[in-house]
Amino acid sequence: MHELILVRHAKSDWGDPGIADHDRPLNARGLRDAPAMASRLAAELGAEVGEIRIVASTAERARATAEAFAAALGTRVEFDRGLYLAPPSALLARAAEACSDGADTVLIVAHDPGLSELAHVLSDGGIDHLPTCAVARFELDAEALEPEPGAGSGGGADRAPGDARFRPACADPLVDAWSLDTPRGQRVPRTTLP
């Protein structure tokens, strides 16, 4: 089993319309939220986690978010331009690559819509949207990370929700999807679950 942690980049600064999207930095809120969420994840993981690999988009807002998580988790970040605005299949393929390189836990820092779409599939439709700096944790069977025969390199991201090879990291997926964007740091709302 491997753990996949999805982190949407923290809130970015839209104050300078002349800055290219890739180069937008975090705003004051993003600079505050990224270390707070990183500390919360580090406390939740504790010493139980094995090798953790952080892979992030090269966009400045994702880079700064990933560096906050790396500092809290005592690891380094691998930057991958291919994660900038990547679709779910590319995100899962990159996670599979990191797992095959020996990581027990892979933390992906990237962007919407791809990140929320992947969380939606992995949560069996339970997560509709990841707010900025949200964290969602999933436990993945190694088989779920292998492409199906004749499929592209997207791993299992094209599989239907409910596929038994995708499991949330806990019995109640709500427990492990949370954000500071929700009131008082509560879990991400899930409108599609009973």
pLDDT digits (tens, 9 = 90+) for 98-131: 888 888 899 999 999 999 999 988 888 888 899 9
Confidence of residue 142 (pLDDT cuts 50, 70, 90): low
Task: Confirm whether pTM is higher than 0.95.
Answer: no
What does the pLDDT read at residue 144?
Answer: 57
What does the pLDDT read at residue 76?
Answer: 94
What does the pLDDT read at residue 51?
Answer: 86
**Main-chain dihedrals φ then ψ at residue 41, nearest 5 degrees:** -65, -45
Q: Is the pLDDT assigned to residue 26 strictly greater than 90?
A: yes
Domain 2-10+22-185, CATH 3.40.50.2020 — does that match?
A: no
For the ranges 17-26, 39-48, 58-67, the lowest mean pLDDT is seen at: 39-48
Q: Is the pLDDT assigned to residue 175 strictly greater than 50?
A: no
DSSP 58-117: SSHHHHHHHHHHHHHHT--EEE-GGGTT--HHHHHHHHHHHHHTT-SEEEEEE-TTHHHH
In angstroms, what CA-CA distances link 181 with 33, 95, 118, 158?
9, 25, 19, 29
Strands 166-168 and 177-178: unpaired
**Main-chain dihedrals φ then ψ at residue 100, nearest 5 degrees:** -70, -20
What does the pLDDT read at residue 161?
Answer: 41
Nearest to 190 by CA among 137, 132, 127: 127
Q: State the residue for tokens 């997560």.
A: 127
